[in-house]
Structure 1
Amino acid sequence: MSTDNKISRRDALKRMSAAVISGAVASSGLLSLTSCEEKRNKRIILYFTGTGNCLYVARQLGGENGELLSIPQMVKRGKYDFEADEIGIVYPIYGHMPPNMVREFIKKARLKAGYKFAVLTYGARKCDAVEIWDRISQNAGNKFDYINTLIMVDNWLPNFDMNEQIKMDKHIPENLQKITTDINGQRRWHEPVTEEERQQHQGFMQRSGLDPEVVFLMKSDKCFTVTDACIDCGICTYVCPRSNYELTSRGVKMSGDCEFCFACIQNCPQKAIQFRKSEDGSFPDGTEKNPNARYRNEHVSLMDLKLANNQKL
């Protein structure tokens, strides 16, 4: 035998020791622990949606492991305590402000997380929405590390034709990917607001006469009407986040405070829900850009919206 293949007694003992240690590690399961992926952060995303835009965004940000929670459902259950590694909120801005339900929710919410982010969707003009949310959330004791906006299809029926809106390329996938990258990297940043945007918001508030503490909280029976085209399908009774619609023996009846999210009017298959004309000319006056055009996010089903907003169960 060649002397090149000979090993010393010391080397033999080292190899035997290494083999014994390797076997012990494998049998104990330590080997599998060291080779598995690093534990993923737990991410909760709370969302409010009327036509599916924010639900779609929440899904993209949540990924495969994120937990998505509907704010209307949390309010219905009286659940306001949440704990995770990361907590996000996604909502549509109405007149550059959060929906009333979102505003009231954040006042009561106790969000325990090392990283909190907010994504605010809008269709045409965001103005100082970021600063408004920062002020509201901080006053509620919920400071957000990251606040950004995302332009999407504008579903504000009084001013925009839905058929024209869906034709516009607003670069949603590209912008959403940038936001996703920011959040996955736990970027701490607020989208800047210009003085011109602040002035635009103030001008809007003066023209509209809206109460900044209430926003678009309207009375549903004063804003909408149900025509004879109604077939009593009951969809409006499921998609309204405030449960303002009721299917009775005499047809659909409505009452209660309305978020003006348009979930009812946008999702009515017969277009039987219409704006009621304002008798005194106050805002909103009941006009509509295209009464024959309706919108729901193409990635979100009607059943998705029912499950998100249903207040019956």
Structure 2
Amino acid sequence: MANETQKTYWNQVGGPKWVSLGGAMEARLAPVSAAVIAAAALRPGENVLDIGCGAGLTSLEAAQAVGPAGRVIGIDISAPMIETARGHARARHIENVSFRLGDAQTEHFAPAPEVLLSRFGVMFFDDPVAAFANLRAGAAPGARLACAAWAPLARNEHWRRPLELVEALLGPGAPRQPHASGPLAFDDADYVTAILTQAGWQAPRVEAMEIALHGVSLEEEAAIACFMGPSGALLDEKQASPAQRETIRAAIRAALPAYTSPAANGGVRVPAVIHMITARAA
């Protein structure tokens, strides 16, 4: 079965972690959702597919952009995330959106989407060429693709520095296979362009984009770094004790002021770099 490792992770580990943060990750990544929506250039009445929709923020923003005559389907392999997304839609009374538990690498969609978008959802395919070929085959003629993925670790201090602190205490993790499915799978622009070309997409483009994540506080940023991302994954891999986790959290909290700044509307501003990936179907 496709993506079995990621299905297990996002149903048993990643999804429950994300949901337990109570909306912190959605708020943190809201600027990325806005960038994806802008890159997709959504128009009223369009049918949209949100790939790896997670807790649904990008899907809900897209539903508002296409208006009541449009339709958005969000798909994700994580049951906890899909249930959370449905709850968000009910709470906001947004009716032109639906959420499906499933795998975009193999499923088909009706009506054929005119726009396919994703905020950090496409990096988890175990066979990205097959996945993007399946998505292209099911898309409407001329459909537009707009996806956000993480740029290299070296350009994302908010991930790199916490990971270094964990490695200093617990040692490095197991060697990572190049382009292995996961948050950094699409950190090489040439690799992504080649995938899309092989999958039959036209005019693929990968643009590095600087963006500011929204952090509520330095304390919450430190907690997220111990829970999610490369540093959180390494803490899990090393089976860090509560005392080790607290040591790391304090170290990350102390390091944060070096690469964050106060946000104009409160909280903290966390600089990041993403890859904005665009293409179109024939």
TM-score by length of structure 1 reads 0.28
**TM-score, normalization: structure 2?**
0.30
Normalized per residue, which structure has more helix?
2
Q: Which has the larger radius of gyration?
A: 1
Structure with larger RCO (C-alpha < 8 A, sep 6+) = 2
